[in-house]
Every structure is written in C-alpha cells, then in structure tokens.
Amino acid sequence: MLLIQQIINGVMLGSVYVTMAVAFTLTIGVLNFLNFTIPTLFMLAGMGAWALTAKGVPIIGAPLIPVVIAPIIAIVTTIAASLIVERFTFRYLKMKYGDSTEHAIPLVSSLGFLLIIENLVRIAYGTDPQRFTALEADFTFDIAGLMIRVPQLASLMISIGIVFAVNRALNHSRIGRGLRAVAENPDAANLLGVEANKLVPVIFMLTGLLCGLAGILFAMNYGEVSPQMGEDIGSKAIAGMVIGGLGSIWGAVIGGLIIGVAEMLTIHLFGADTVQVVVWGLLLVMLFFRPQGLLGHNSIGKGKL
Amino acid sequence: MTTAAPLLSLQNVSKRFGGLSVITDVSFEVAKGARMALIGPNGAGKTTIFNLISGFYRPDEGQIVLDGVPIQQLPSRKRVGLGLSRSFQNIRLMPHLSVIENIMLAQQPHAGGLLDMVKPIALPGFRRWQREAEELLDAMGIDTYAGDVVATLPYGVRKKIEVVRALAAKPKLLLLDEPAAGLNAAETEGLTDFLKRIALTGVTLLVVEHDMGLVRKLCDDAVVLNFGAKIYDGPTATVQDNPLVLEAYLGPRHSKTASGASDQKGAHHVA
Amino acid sequence: MSGYMTGILTVLSINIIMAYAIFLPAAAGQLNLGGAGFQALGAYATAFLSAKYGTPSWATIPAAMLVGGLVGGVLAFPLLRTKGVYLVLATFALAEVIAGAILNTTALGGAMGLSVPDYVGANVPMIAAACVTLFVFYLMATRFGLVMRAAHDDDVVTDLLGANVRAIRVVAFALGGALAGLSGALYALAFSFVDISTFNATISIYVLLYVLLGGTQTAFGPILGATFFTLLPEVLRSVLPQVKAFLAGIFGQTGAIAPPDESWRFIILGLLTVLMMIFRPEGLVTRTFIERLKGALRGQGARRKGAVA
C-alpha cells in the first residue's frame, strides 16, 4: 500500500517535470536548441508569485498583490523574459561556417541567461528558501487508504490539459503546421513560404507559458520557493525528456512521469541520497543504448553542436 | 580501348535510399591515366556515384575495385591510402585552418603514423611536411600567402586550393565534383589548364561537371547517367550524337528534331 | 608573497589546468559539460589515497591523472558515439552520476567530505599549470593537434582525408579527463579538504563558458578565459563597492553603504557570455586574430608573396 502511495506521489511530482520536459522538447524538436533558461524561467515564476504576494511589486514595493492575481502576473513576466531570451539567443545568431562549436551558440547564450536571471533574483530576494503560503488549507481525500491531495491532483490535470492543448495546437493550427514544417526541414519550410523568423518567438512564448505554469503549480503544491528551485527540477525534466525521446511531446509526458515515479520509489527504497545516481544513471544508459528515447525520432539533435 | 587493367571499375553497382532506387546497375571503367567525365542531368546520381566511390555510402549491390582491390566495404579513411582522393561540389576546406594546414592535413595517409602524429609540424627541424606542402602549392601556382586562414580567402582561390588539397594525398585517382561551379569564364579557363597539368603528372581524373566546354576540352571519355542508370559510355566527342543522351537532357520531343545537332551551339545548350 | 596573492595564484593555476581539460575535447569539436565530474574523480582519488594510505603527493597526483584519464578514455567510446545535444547531455549526466556515486560511498566520506592530510604549497599548482600550458601548446603544434582542429571544423571530410577522427577524439577526451583529474588533485592538496558539493554542475558550466569565451581555435583561448574569469571577481571585489558608493553619492545617499552582492560577478559573466555570442561567437582569441597579429608584427608588406588570384 505504501508502495502504491509512493507511485501516486511520483506521478504528482512527475507532472511538474512533464510540463518542463515538454518545454525542453519543443525547443529541441523545432530549433535543435537545448534551452538552459527553462529552469530559471520556472524559478522566476515561482519566486515572482511569492515576491508579489509577500514583498509587493519589485522596485516600487507596495502594494502587495493578492494571491489570486499574482500568479497571472508572474506567468506574464515569465513569458516576457522568455521573449527577451529569444531576442538575444536566436535573433542575432549568425552561422558562418557551420562548424561544431558554432552550433552551440544559442546553448551557450542560454547558459549566460541562466546566470543572469538566477543571480538577479538572488540579489533581489536573497538565497534562502521562502515559504509560499497561497494554499493555507490542505485539501486531501483518501480512497481505500491512499491519500490524494487535491491541489496536486489539480496540477496534474492542468499539466496534462496544457500538454493536450499544445499538442492540439501544433497539429491543427496554421502556426503549428508551420512549426512542424520547420522542425522537419528548415530549408524546405523556408522555400515553402513558412517564415521561420516569425514562428521562433511562438516557441519561446510557449516555453515561458509552460515554465510559468509549472513554477506556480510547484510553488503552490510544495509551499516553498527559492532562487535555486529550478536547478534540480529542471535537470530532472531534461532527464525525462531524454528518456521519452528528444522532440516528442508524448515522450516528454511519459519520461517526466517515469522520472517522478522513479524518484519517489528510489527515495522510498534506498533513501534520498541515491536519487541522483538513479535518475542520471537511467539517462546515461538510455543515451548509450537507445539515444532516440522511448518515442523520439532518430534524426533530432544529431546536428553538430 | 584500354589494354592494361583499369584503375577504377564499378561492377553492377546499385544503391537505394529507403524504397527509392538512386543508382541502378551501373558499371564502367576508368583506365589508368584517363581523363573521364561523369555527366548527366540534375539528380541523375553523379554525386551519389562519387559518394559510393569515396566511401560516404556503401553500395547495396555490386563491386567497386580500385587498382585491383575491392574497396566497397572499406571505411572512407582507408580508401585515401589506396590512392583515392576527391574534391567537393560545395567547398569543404577547413575554414579555421590556414591554406598550408589544409594541405598538410591531406598528407595524412603518408604521415599518419603514431610518431608522425606527435611530432611538431611547424617547428625548425620538423618542417619536412610543411616544405612538401609549400612545394605543391608553388607547383600548382597558388600564390596566396600560405599562412592565410581559409575563411578569409575569395571563392575562386578556395576552389583551387581544394583541388590542391586533394592532390596532397598523392592520389592515383582524383575525383572532382563540379570543379568549375561558381567560377567565371576566365577562371574556368585557368582551371582547365590547371587540371590538364595535373593529368600530365600521371594522375587519373574522373570529373563531374556541368560545363560542357570544360568537359570537352579536358576529358577524352564520358559516362552519362540518367535517373541512376548509365546511358552512354564512350568518347566525349560523340556524346551529343547519342539519341538517349539528347533525350535525357532535352526531353523526348527534342530527340528527333535535334538529333545529329553536334554543332557547338547545341553542345552549349546541353550544358 | 602575501597569503592573498598565493591563494589567488593557486586558484588561477587550478582553473587554467581545468580550462585546458575542457579545451582539448572542445578543440576537436566535442563539448564536455561534465568537467566537474572528472575534477571530482581526481580530487577524491588524491584525498582517499592520502587519507587512507598516507600516499605522498608525488604519487597521488599521477594517480589522480590516471583515474581521470582512464575513466575519460573508457567512457569516451560510448560517450562519443553520441553527438550534438546528446553529447552535452551525456557528459552532464555522467558528472551527476559520478557526484551521486561519491555522495553514496561511505569510504569517501559521503556528504561529510574528506580531509586531506597531505598539503602542497602554491608552487606545485603553478608549476603544474605552466607544464600543462606548454604541453597543450606543443600538442596543438603537432599533426595530432592539426587533425583535432580539422575534426572541429568538419569531421566527415577529416575522416575522408585519411585521419581516424574517432581515435583522435577518444584520445583528446581521455587527455582532458587526465587534466581534469590533475586539477582536482591539486585542489584537494591545496585546500586539504574535498566536499562533493564543490564539484557541482555550476562548475562544469563556468568552465565550459570561460573556455568558449576565450576561444577554442588556439591554445591561447583557455588561458585567457581562465585568467579573466578568475581575476574578475577579485577586481570586482575592489571596484564594485566604489562604483556602488559613487552611484549612491549621486543619488544623495551618505553614510555606510553595504558592499554589493557577490552575485554581481555571475551576472557580469552571464552578460559577457550573451554579448560575446552575439558579437564574437568564436571566442576572444581566434585563429584569424593570431594571424593578423603575426602579420602586423611582420609588417603588412611582407604578408603576401603576390597578388591574390
């Protein structure tokens, strides 16, 4: 029974990874770009929501923003930040030779942004974890002795709903079809009149939205935010994405859930210190023996870097 | 027409990508010392043939024999050692290496031993390979400063350097993929003389080229491909008389009206 | 020499060696985002041998290099089968696995860390850094270095020209592992204590960033990058409070002003990274830059033998 409870907890935790893993997989699938700002965007949303409710609007200070509105402002801020990142990683990217380190330029820029955003938040609010007490009451109900927390269940639903919406948008909207065309073959898409330059910001807006939501849901569920909160969660989302397969949205969903469950079971069976070895070991084994992941295509991410 | 064993022979070579057959049962031979052209309309499979010979792809069927050695299963880097060297349609020099370093890189089959790998290449007392590369550049009339980084050089010069790089491996057979692409008339003229000089040193040439002027001046023999199959194998001089070739280039309607049109203008139209 | 100066020189030496450890695979076109893992291997090898068996430093340092080199060499085979994004992820994952394994090994002190009874002064890291620098400069001047640089530009053609790109990359990766091991060993011996949380993903990121910002085309890049980013915080430490005081003065603030946050230096590193990628993505020191410099020293007139065709 305890084991089943841990699996349920794992799925709940996994839903946070899922949302971010989808963000990772979108940028890799369409742009062949491993965006390292995703964990910081996640953190920005969580810390932002906390700061708005506890400290008020940055620089101006007062007034404190009510808990109902703060998350929305935080998500909008995250999307804006993501667009700034787009402007300075992709907009100015010029490939002259196509050699192996040149392809890493956006990745390196995103590492730069990771440092900038995370440390700005540190300077503003310190490095200590903060309690985020948006949900005072803890609704839980149990079915046959299994405890299910309502907020967690809600965030699982929201995560899955978002993934469905994104997937549907990719398959059925004009922009979505354009994006998929770019992912398949950027040159051909260009010839067919798909304006890649106009579609790229869409990916970054989606990234901001997904990370923002994940950050808010995580902060509400686990009641704690810190400038470091993205590092651990973000790297596990990367692991989930790889296991599911780069560029595959449903792969990211499955991978994120696998990581969540694997993490909870590992903690339960071997203790918290071994989580790192299990999660990353799983990823490494996957990369060595089935680099395309569970559902991924063989071609994505093979480009030079 | 050849008495000695051919330098290169393709025997019933086929290649498929997925379900698509790109090369179907192609056989031809290149005699030692020959200057042969490989021509055909766009998408006929010329570059694929080059990629099969140089080892980018493995043929699904058939044999490729270089100087008596079947090479179709050898990794590409081992084929260089057997005397096979090539240039590329789009220049593929190393942009961050200097001219001389690009040339020295191609000496690899002769200087790739463990000891050679760890010896300095540009220090006093160790300049043997550098001198050799410089001599080759001089002999080929490349008068650009050899220390210049390739990325900074104009297109025409890079195009020539790529041919010289292919020569630095001291090949018996040199594959040239559209050496004149992107060059103006004067540059093409210069290149033709340049390639003739190379052939005079005993190197066998197999050239993919669209410029029929260059092909006729440089090559004695030609193989024509269309839709991955060989449709002509013979002297360059009579290639325009072949109805199959005309049909391939101009479509079935022209094959009757234009047959026998072997004059210069028709030839340029083919190009 | 003051204690402050020796401290900085020790850190600088360790960082330079670490920069070359990441530079070697990068020069051959392979990004290693797991540098801290290899550094941890070296540090813990030294710490363990020293604490458990009292092995002297002249033996623990080579042992650390051997461990780093062997792990790098053996893992290079599966690692380098992965390309592009996958290689970045795989090296990143490898470092996490190494850190996790050390964290869970009681013989290595787990989360408590390990005290190192042995100690070396600043001269050892400095001499080691000088030797490593010379070694890498030498390596880049050999045919091995030439093939490495060629593989960075175009691995397919390099292979076609007759060079065994795979072998070259495995060797470069293993040498990088050995150098990272060396820097870890020197860290353990200079600070007499190792703690796995020191060798975290952030370190891997910093090292990769300053190597790429320095430039991977020549051996000048890493030493410049490492020096710049080691000395930057020290410079900022003295300059930033003055800037802040000056700004505060403009806004009419007086009295005691708290020194600025440590985090500013990371923001500056981040900003520089973003700006560099926009304006000079090949790094500060490029091949062309060196050639121009040589040309300038030689005099423009002598640069070309004749007109460009």
ipTM of the complex: 0.84
Q: How far apart are CA B216 and CA B208, in angstroms?
A: 12
- Give me the mean pLDDT over the A247-271 stretch: 89
Contact state of A97 with C82 under an 8 Å Cβ cutoff: no
More confident residue, C81 or B202: B202
Whether A301 contacts C84, CB under 8 Å: yes
- The confidence score (pLDDT) of residue A62 equals 65
Does A143 have pLDDT greater than 60? yes
Q: How far apart are CA C18 and CA C39, in angstroms?
A: 8
Contact state of A100 with C30 under an 8 Å Cβ cutoff: yes
Q: How far is A99 from chain B (nearest CA, A)?
A: 9
To the nearest whole number, what is the mean pLDDT of chain B? 83
Domain residue extents for chain B: 1-83+171-271, 93-169
- Confidence band, pLDDT 50/70/90 cuts, at residue C255: low
Nearest to C97 among A94, A105, A277 (CB): A277
**Domain assignment of residue C140, yes or no:** yes
pTM of this structure: 0.86
Contact state of C143 with B169 under an 8 Å Cβ cutoff: no
Q: How far apart are CA A225 and CA A49, in angstroms?
A: 9
Mean pLDDT lowest among A88-92, A269-273, A275-279, B135-139: A88-92
The CATH H-level superfamily of B1-83+171-271 is P-loop containing nucleotide triphosphate hydrolases (3.40.50.300)
- The confidence score (pLDDT) of residue A200 equals 81
- Give me the mean pLDDT over the C145-163 stretch: 91
- Confidence band, pLDDT 50/70/90 cuts, at residue A60: low
- Confidence band, pLDDT 50/70/90 cuts, at residue C132: very high
- Confidence band, pLDDT 50/70/90 cuts, at residue C1: low
Mean pLDDT lowest among A42-46, A177-181, C203-207: A177-181
Share of chain C above pLDDT 70, in %: 92
Using CA atoms, how far residue C283 sits from B134, C217, C224, C273, in Å, is: 30, 8, 10, 10
Which chain B residues touch C160 with a CB distance below 8 Å?
54-56, 76-77, 80, 86
- Confidence band, pLDDT 50/70/90 cuts, at residue C53: very high
Tell me phi and psi for residue C277, to 5 degrees.
-65, -30
Does A136 have pLDDT greater than 60? no
- Give me the mean pLDDT over the A143-149 stretch: 75
**Domain assignment of residue C24, yes or no:** yes
Instruction: Find the domain containing C9 and state its range.
Output: 3-229
Contact state of B96 with A96 under an 8 Å Cβ cutoff: no
Does B41 have pLDDT greater than 50? yes
**Domain assignment of residue C250, yes or no:** no
Q: Which helix (H) or strand (E) holds C300?
A: none
Q: How far is B95 from chain A (nearest CA, A)?
A: 7
- Does B133 reach chain C within 8 Å, measured CB to CB? no
The neighbours of chain A, by the rule of 3 or more Cβ pairs under 8 Å, are B, C
Does C15 have pLDDT greater than 90? yes
Q: How many Cβ atoms are within 10 Å of A141's Cβ, its own excluded?
A: 10
Contact state of C274 with A114 under an 8 Å Cβ cutoff: no
Share of chain B above pLDDT 70, in %: 91
**Domain assignment of residue C11, yes or no:** yes
- Give me the mean pLDDT over the B225-245 stretch: 87
Please name the residues between 80 and 99 in chain B that touch chain A, using a CB distance below 8 Å: 95-96
pLDDT in tens, A99-134: 556 667 888 889 999 999 999 998 888 888 888 876
To the nearest whole number, what is the mean pLDDT of chain A? 82
Give the list of residues 6+ apart from residue A219 with CB closer than 8 angstroms, or none: A45, A46, A49, A50, A132, A134, A225
Contact state of B169 with C153 under an 8 Å Cβ cutoff: no
- Give me the mean pLDDT over the C151-156 stretch: 89
**Domain assignment of residue C118, yes or no:** yes
Nearest by Cα to B84 from B109, B103, B102: B109
| Structural domains of chain C, count | 1
Mean pLDDT lowest among A108-122, A263-277, B248-262, C207-221: B248-262
- Give me the mean pLDDT over the B64-78 stretch: 89
Q: Across-strand partners of A141?
A: A148
